[in-house]
Amino acid sequence: MATINNTTEKYRPRQLYSLQEVRKHDTPKDLWMVIYNRVYDVTAFAGDHPGGVEVLFDCGGVDATEAFEDVAHSDDAVNMLAPYFLGDLDRSDHRSYTSERHPKDHYASMKEIRPIPRKRKSKHKQQLDKAFIEKVTIGLLVCLAVISIIIYVCIQKFKWAYHV
Question: Per-residue DSSP letters for 68-111?
Answer: HHHTT--HHHHHTTGGGEEEEEPGGG----S-----TTTT--TT
Query: Does residue 6 contact residue 13 with C-beta atoms inside 8 Å?
Result: yes
For residue 148, pLDDT over 90 is answered with: yes
For residue 4, pLDDT over 50 is answered with: no
Average confidence (pLDDT) over 129-149: 92
Cα 19 from Cα 101, distance rounded (Å): 20
What is the residue type of 154?
A: C
- How are strands ordered across the β-sheet holding 85-89? 2-4, 14-17, 85-89, 38-41, 30-35, 26-27
In the chain the first and final C-alpha atoms are separated, in Å, by 97
Handedness of CA 44, 50, 55, 61 (dihedral sign): negative
Confidence of residue 146 (pLDDT cuts 50, 70, 90): very high
pLDDT digits (tens, 9 = 90+) for 32-85: 999 989 999 998 888 888 787 788 888 888 888 888 888 888 888 888 888 889
What is the residue type of 124?
A: H
pTM metric for this prediction? 0.56
* Burial of residue 46 (number of CB atoms within 10 Å: 0-12, 13-18, 19+): middle
